[in-house]
Structure 1
Amino acid sequence: MHNFQPRHFAIVPAAGSGSRMGAARPKQYLPLLGRPLIHHALAVLCAAPEIDQVFVVLSVDDAEWARHDWSMLGPKLRPLFCGGATRADSVLGGLRAIAGEVAQTDWILVHDAARPCLAHWHIEALVRELAHDEVGGLLAVPVADTLKRADERRHVLQTVPRDSLWQAQTPQMFRYVMLRRALEHAKDVTDEASAIEAAGLRPRLVQGDATNLKVTYPLDLHLAEWILKHRQGHDR
């Protein structure tokens, strides 16, 4: 059956500490609309009919996960306590942990724990556009702003042409076998697409939108809250 209908599995690496937020607890557990930040993306992934199972990769000594109630997200959600020092380590740890449950050609969607404004239409667009792609790809947004390269004193060295530049987002979706092989060989990458690129392949860019923002600084939490509040009543 797998030859004809590959399944889709989500992996959410959430073993990081989120140091730039300056908070006492890891970023993925900061409160957002009364729930941990990570809850929002997990809820959308678990509710997506395209996705068979959702694995969240936590650090071995994560004590915060058990303090929250995840039961409303249903049986698709499974925590894996095998996270590593980097995102790539955590994703690879997750891929190794689920090796016995997935087929080599099944799709893996890796999503940032710190992107709480994921919507179902993002997943649907990614799955639809990449269904017959040999490599896979990622959600991304064309760069709209003028880009400046700075020197060490924060003065402008040059303006960087933005033509053909895209800002990478997640989910990033690749076949299990290709992603695992790529990450085994390229461990210092900051996203999955970079590992696939290092293997000599060219991921496809699927246009997303700016609402799928990454919470990096404290202000981003307020932006995420605004997006989620104003999206209610629409397709989430």
Structure 2
Amino acid sequence: MSRSGIWAVIPAAGRGTRFGGDIPKQYLNVAGRPLIAHALDALLAHPRVVGAIVALSADDTRWPGWTHWNGKPVLRCDGGGERADSVLAALQALPPEVPASALVLVHDAARPNLHDTDLERLIAAADLAHDGAILAAPVRDTLKRASDSDRIAATEPREGLWRAFTPQAFRRGALTAALQQAQAAGIVVTDEAMAMERAGARPMLVEGREDNLKVTTSADLALAEYLLTQRVRT
């Protein structure tokens, strides 16, 4: 497989309605910086990552206008109503010299605590995996299925179940085609791996650190603050 330069795609057109408040969560300050700044730090520190493209809402007035990060280009494009629309728009807006065979990393703007060791392992796996790879972690808790009245209806087996994280790494051409197919079918995919699965791919699961959390609640924000202030990025 090719070991060419990798671009990072960050979908950030959402309003963060589940979090609440007037500020989109990617711009919430954690450890003195916006969440999205931490995400850019982690991605663009890797020597194979040559640039990033951020998909933003067309009316986003909070974007700081960054054009470079760690000496690497940062592009922006208009995203869409769903995550998949934003990722597809970003893939299509990448520089034309980025080949279809190039790896792209799709990473959540509100996932600030990505460690370089996890990123290195993901890229190494995706280099070898024709169908791409994602960071994930096995489900360790007991799972309960709820009834309509919020009572326990059943205990579900957790064997073989994983929680999907980001980044997720796929070839630009294959991911673009998979997202276009899902869009044409009217199916809203909740992550890139789901689109690839629909297209017949079987991406590799790469076990990552469980503290690679996505900020969705105020409790998550407090935990992210703690984690970022405790770590020393190498």
- Give the secondary structure class of the aligned counterpart of 1:81: strand
Q: Could you tell me whether the CA contact under 8 Å between 1:186 and 1:195 is conserved in 2?
A: yes
Structure 1 residues 174 and 140, CA, compared in 2 at 3 Å: closer, same or farther?
A: same
SS in structure 1 of the partner of residue 18 of structure 2: helix
> Does residue 185 in structure 1 map to residue 195 in structure 2?
no
Compute the displacement of 1:151 (Å). 1.3
TM-score by length of 2: 0.94
Aligned partners of 2:73 and 2:58: how far apart in 1? 18
C-alpha distance in 1, partners of 2:47/2:231?
20
**Which residue does the alignment assign to 1:224?**
224
Structure 2 counterparts to residues 1-236 of structure 1, below 5 A: 4-66=2-64, 70=66, 73-98=69-94, 100-187=96-183, 188-232=188-232, 235=234
Q: Which runs of 5+ in 2 are unaligned?
A: none
Q: Secondary structure at the match of 2:205?
A: strand
Decide whether the 8 Å contact of 1:29 with 1:36 is kept in 2. yes
State the 4+ residue runs in structure 1 displaced beyond 4 angstroms.
none
Residue 132 of structure 2 aligns with an amino acid whose one-letter code is: G
SS across alignment from 1:209: coil
1:48 corresponds to which letter in structure 2? H
Rounded Cα–Cα distance in structure 1 between residues aligned with 2:179 and 2:60: 24
Letter in 2 for 1:220: D
Mapped contact 2:3–2:127 kept (Cα < 8 A) = no
- What whole-Å deviation, never above 9, does each CA across 1:166-198 have from its counterpart, x for those lacking one? 000000000011000000011310000000000
Instruction: Tell me how far 1:144 sits from its aligned partner.
Output: 0.6
Check whether the contact 2:5–2:50 (CA below 8 A) recurs between aligned residues: yes
Q: Alignment RMSD, CA only?
A: 1.6
In the alignment, structure 1 segments of 5+ residues that lack a partner are: none
* Deviation (angstroms), 1:77: 3.9
Query: Which shifted more, 52-61 or 199-208?
Result: 52-61
- How far apart are the structure 2 equivalents of 1:45 and 1:4? 19
The residue type paired with residue 37 of structure 2 is H
The CA distance in 2 between the partners of 1:40 and 1:14, in whole Å, is 14
Cα gap change, 1:227 to 1:84, in 2 (>3 Å) = same
Per the normalisation by structure 1, the TM-score is: 0.93
d(CA) in 2 for partners of 1:191, 1:101? 26
Alignment check: 8 A CA contact 2:68 2:74 kept: no
Count of residue pairs brought into register by the alignment: 230
Question: Could you tell me how far apart the structure 1 residues matched to 2:67 and 2:127 are?
Answer: 31
Deviation at 1:116, TM superposition (A): 0.6
